[in-house]
Amino acid sequence: SDFSSCEALGHFCSSSVSEDLGCRRGDFSRKHYGSVELLISSDADGAIQRAGRFRVENGSSDENATALPGTWRRTDVHLENPEYHTRWYFKYFLGQVHQNYIGNDAEKSPFFLSVTLSDQNHQRVPQYRAILWRKTGTQKICLPYSPTKTLSVKSILSAMNLDKFEKGPREIFHPEIQKDLLVLEEQEGSVNFKFGVLFAKDGQLTDDEMLSNEIGSDAFQKFLNLLGDKITLKGWTGYRGGLDTKNDTTGIQSVYTVYQGHEIMFHVSTMLPYSKENKQQVERKRHIGNDIVTIVFQEGEEPSPAFKPSMIRSHFTHIFALVRYDQQNDNYRLKIFSEESVPLFGPPLPSPPVFTDHQEFRDFLLVKSTLETPTFAQKRRRTLDMLIRSLYQDLMPDLHKNMLNRRSFSDVLPESPKSARKKEEARQAEFVRIGQALKLKSIVRGDAPSSLVASGICKKEPWEPQCFCSNFPHEAVCADPWGQALLVSTDAGVLLVDDDLPSVPVFDKTLPVKQMHVLETLDLLILRADKGKDARLFVFRLSSVHKAIEGKQAVKSKCDCRDNKLEKTKGCHLYAINTHHSRELRIVVAIRNKLLLITRKPKPGGVAGISLLSPLAESPVEEFQYIREICLSDSPAVMTLVDGPTEESDNLICVAYRHQFDVVNESTGEAFRLHHVEANRVNFVAAIDVYEDGEAGLLLCYNYSCIYKKVCPFNGGSFLVQPSASDFQFCWNQAPYAIVCAFPYLLAFTTDSMEIRLVVNGNLVHTAVVPQLQLVASRSDIYFTATTAVNEVSSGGSSKGASAHNSPQTPPGRDTPVFPSSLGEGETPSKNLYKIPLRNLVGRSIERPLKSPLVSKAVTPPTAIGLGIAAIPVTHSLSLSRMEIKEIASRTRRELLGNGGPFLCSRCL
């Protein structure tokens, strides 16, 4: 056992929990995304020009500075808000059986709702997917499926915070509605992109000079080859980005590529038509000047003169990517200019912003450019509002006909009466046929997300789990790491679990532990045993627990722990501790609407305040002291301690109760309103402390929402909470029950999925389906359990086919679809315990190794089969050639028209 080598208390003090948590939580700065500057430059005649306010991103301002633990140095390159998130209707609804509703909200504004029951997640985990189309934009959510309870339209709208209606929603039966909703979705953002690529010789100051370059250099040609493939425009059938593909009026050739499902056409200045008579090169400027993103390839070793956006006269271009190639060192340097109105978008530039790996540079540049340009969100909202109102007016004459269902709150996908079964089957078959024809047309036209028809390859991602313990036989309640092992509270008691050793019982089931903290540097174990009114906080010395395990003593029961109870904590239902920044351990215990502040008495000498020269008492209870009691207006559901910057009476407690988040001053007990929740029902999830540029901030999570708020000290003991430019909010696709911050990522856990976003802006980077997911520990490494089947492998699919069973996408009637279990007859589901290492998630932001008081073990990375979980299929699309896309479209057409059936194969759709 690893424990046999730990004979002295010093072995428990080899790592800092506070540093671990600091790395997990993160201390970030928006300066990593550049600083906003008023740029001024001069034209060719020397006249001063004001270029406007631009965010200038060039990596760290101080490239020689040493990064501190927990700061963001460099992150993995991920496409933010990938297409499978932004094109839900095309992927999950179009051409499948689904329901569409129309209604008016309380402000008499029309809305549309689309709902489908889908299991298109390779895990046979059925989910309701819903899209709400409103003038303010679209909202997408997932809701869990229960075979015994169908969801009503009213409950779905309530989950989207739409509870009041001027007119209740009615179902639209007409199949042509799919075409109109597809148009609505296309207003959200681009599936395909067009970028300008401008060649600039060294010393050129104006766009007229840059656009007049007839040919580029060898280095520029090498750069173009890196970006994509050279294609002939005449006869081109793919995405053309506004270029002429019939008469060569916009040039003979161009550069094109497909990246992660997005088709990209580059408007290359040297490939667009050149005119000797026209000094302004209007034909070239017509395309490049109307691109949102322009890549400027600048010749020369050093920027002389420095590029300024004012060199390019365009009211449309909002982002400039300045690229410079260093031939001597064979690397690329990147600098980004973006208008102040463009919100933060990732990934941030590395420090220094130099790329020696050319493929990595291509990936970074394309990901940085393919953002959903939020600058034009207001214009898109106006267009969306106009389209919704127009569509509503078109449907008004049919409100009293059979086209619209009068049942306002009918169940989603209800069973049809037998008398109407055949008529309903025929209607749904026609509905599916028209939808699949629309999808086919989009695929052939090149307007569809290409990754939907692409094959994929597996790539190890930072959130990929390792199997920590297979066939875990217990229901886990909570856990916390202890060195390389995991202390887990289960239905059978508290166990010490190691991946290659039998579980060791520590406490029996008479001590029902609901919360725990293993504080190795303080030699403390804190537990909350909760069973009705007899709930208590218990504190133990880790060294004593270790000694009992090593001596194979009898497992402790609740009666054996009488001396370990903390006074005044009877009846507690929640507690929180501080584990970073401050040297003093603070515990806040919630007993109904009262908060008890308890601290650990400081001890001179020794490591972490422990005297190694004097013998330690068996119980550390006497080391804790009661400080004060704070009364709240209600019982808190969520509680987080926020350390003040000075450690002098400015520590805060964030509490969530009723319909609000408050911050409470620990010294005075005064409460300040942080955020009021405008919803009928509130499910509080978490309040996560995140520090930005050394100032306290909180991520407030409830229902589907996540909001970032800054908390600033104000007037000696008070706190100023007001809207800030750095505040932002976003919605999860599925309502989580737990949120974990592993900087730079936020991980949301639901009962069957894991959603991963970026801390700095909430942008989505990945969604994984995980059957029966249960988070058990997250204070450093992340541990969770999930159900797996004996026959399943982690390829993203099951060994048992499901095509023979009815599903929500098949048209026969409205019977509740049958989702086949992946378990065979006689098999029983098993749960594995998985681990996502902190080091993998935070990557280069940790400047030191994560140590453990236990002997390190060599961990062999699990194989695909050994991982045992098909829960997190990580698939990256390969770039498709036009021939491959045309072949897929041709095969789809044959299946649609040639076989006499209305269905397309699931792989093509």
What are the tens digits of pLDDT across the range 128-138? 889 999 888 78
The residue whose two tokens read 């808190």 is 636
Single-letter amino acid, residue 318: H
Q: Can you read off the two tokens belonging to residue 293?
A: 């993103």
Maximum Cα–Cα distance across the chain: 96
Please report the pLDDT score of residue 559 as a whole number: 92
Q: Which of 264-268, 575-579, 872-876 has the lowest mean pLDDT?
A: 872-876
CB 249 within 8 A of CB 233: no
Looking at per-residue pLDDT, the higher value among 594 and 681 belongs to: 594
CB 487 within 8 A of CB 549: no
- Strand 319-326 relative to strand 293-298, pairing: parallel
Residue (of 821, 826, 844) closest to 771 by Cα position: 821
* pLDDT of 861 higher than 50: no
Share of the chain above pLDDT 70, in %: 68
Q: Can you read off the two tokens belonging to residue 184?
A: 């609505």
CB 39 within 8 A of CB 54: yes
Give the span between the Cα atoms of 599 and 316, in whole angstroms. 58
Looking at per-residue pLDDT, the higher value among 688 and 612 belongs to: 688
* pLDDT of 654 higher than 60: yes
> Of the spans 14-23, 67-76, 157-166, which averages the highest pLDDT?
157-166
Q: Which of 243-257, 274-288, 345-359, 413-427 has the lowest mean pLDDT?
A: 413-427
CB 79 within 8 A of CB 140: no
Listing DSSP states for 200-231 in one string gives E-TT--SHHHHHT--S--HHHHHHHHHH-EEE
**Strand order in 524-529's β-sheet?**
513-519, 524-529, 536-541
Q: Can you read off the two tokens belonging to residue 361?
A: 């540079």
Share of the chain above pLDDT 90, in %: 28
Helix (H, G, I), strand (E, B) or coil at 803: coil
Cβ count within 10 A of residue 780: 21
Single-letter amino acid, residue 155: S
Q: Which of 84-93, 139-148, 663-672 has the lowest mean pLDDT?
A: 84-93
Give the span between the Cα atoms of 477 and 492, in whole angstroms. 10
Looking at per-residue pLDDT, the higher value among 179 and 459 belongs to: 179
The residue whose two tokens read 């800030």 is 724
Looking at per-residue pLDDT, the higher value among 117 and 884 belongs to: 117
Length of the chain counted residue by residue: 909
Q: Which of 323-332, 432-441, 680-689, 848-857 has the lowest mean pLDDT?
A: 848-857
Cα radius of gyration rounded to whole Å, the chain: 30
Looking at per-residue pLDDT, the higher value among 61 and 239 belongs to: 239
740-749: average pLDDT: 89
Confidence of residue 765 (pLDDT cuts 50, 70, 90): confident
* pLDDT of 856 higher than 60: no
Q: Which of 397-401, 551-555, 567-571, 678-682 has the lowest mean pLDDT?
A: 397-401
* pLDDT of 375 higher than 90: no
> Of the spans 367-381, 421-435, 441-455, 810-824, which averages the highest pLDDT?
421-435
CA dihedral sign of residues 147, 152, 156, 161: negative
**Alpha-carbon 504 to chain mean position:** 36
Cβ count within 10 A of residue 198: 25
Please report the pLDDT score of residue 760 as a whole number: 79
Q: What is the pLDDT of residues 58-102, one digit of tens each?
A: 775 443 444 333 333 445 666 676 655 567 888 889 888 899 999
Cβ count within 10 A of residue 433: 17
Angle at 203 between CA 198 and CA 208, to 5 degrees: 50
Single-letter amino acid, residue 828: T
Please report the pLDDT score of residue 529 as a whole number: 93
Please report the pLDDT score of residue 459 as a whole number: 57
Give the span between the Cα atoms of 163 and 153, in whole angstroms. 11
Confidence of residue 723 (pLDDT cuts 50, 70, 90): low
**Contacts with 249 (C-beta within 8 Å, 6 or more apart), sequence order:** 273
Please report the pLDDT score of residue 22 as a whole number: 46
Listing DSSP states for 335-353 in one string gives EEEEETTSPP-SPPPPSS-
**Contacts with 813 (C-beta within 8 Å, 6 or more apart), sequence order:** 415, 416, 421, 424, 425, 428
Give the span between the Cα atoms of 177 and 199, in whole angstroms. 46
| 149-154 own/partner pairs: CB under 8 Å, 24+ apart | 150/411, 150/412, 150/413, 150/414, 150/816, 151/411, 151/412, 152/409, 152/410, 152/411, 152/412, 153/101, 153/113, 153/115, 153/408, 153/409, 153/410, 153/411, 153/412, 154/408, 154/409
Confidence of residue 412 (pLDDT cuts 50, 70, 90): low
Please report the pLDDT score of residue 5 as a whole number: 36
Please report the pLDDT score of residue 801 as a whole number: 32
Average per-residue pLDDT for the chain: 74
Please report the pLDDT score of residue 446 as a whole number: 56
Looking at per-residue pLDDT, the higher value among 38 and 331 belongs to: 331
Domains of the chain, each with CATH number or no CATH: 28-61+191-372 (3.40.50.11210), 91-188+377-414 (3.30.1120.160)
Q: Which of 631-640, 709-718, 757-766 has the lowest mean pLDDT?
A: 709-718
Please report the pLDDT score of residue 453 as a whole number: 36
* pLDDT of 815 higher than 60: no
Confidence of residue 901 (pLDDT cuts 50, 70, 90): very low
Q: Can you read off the two tokens belonging to residue 363?
A: 């990936």
CB 198 within 8 A of CB 288: yes
Q: What is the pLDDT of residues 437-453, one digit of tens each?
A: 888 887 766 556 544 43
* pLDDT of 684 higher than 90: yes
Give the span between the Cα atoms of 277 and 211, in whole angstroms. 13
Helix (H, G, I), strand (E, B) or coil at 598: strand
Looking at per-residue pLDDT, the higher value among 660 and 16 belongs to: 660
**Contacts with 215 (C-beta within 8 Å, 6 or more apart), sequence order:** 270
Please report the pLDDT score of residue 311 as a whole number: 75
Residue (of 188, 189, 220) closest to 202 by Cα position: 220
The residue whose two tokens read 């750069």 is 223
**Contacts with 882 (C-beta within 8 Å, 6 or more apart), sequence order:** 236, 237, 238
Please report the pLDDT score of residue 47 as a whole number: 55
Give the span between the Cα atoms of 334 and 336, in whole angstroms. 7
Confidence of residue 166 (pLDDT cuts 50, 70, 90): confident
Please report the pLDDT score of residue 845 as a whole number: 39
Q: What is the pLDDT of residues 462-519, one digit of tens each?
A: 888 989 998 898 999 999 999 889 999 999 999 999 876 789 999 999 999 999 999 9
Single-letter amino acid, residue 744: P
CA dihedral sign of residues 208, 213, 214, 219: negative
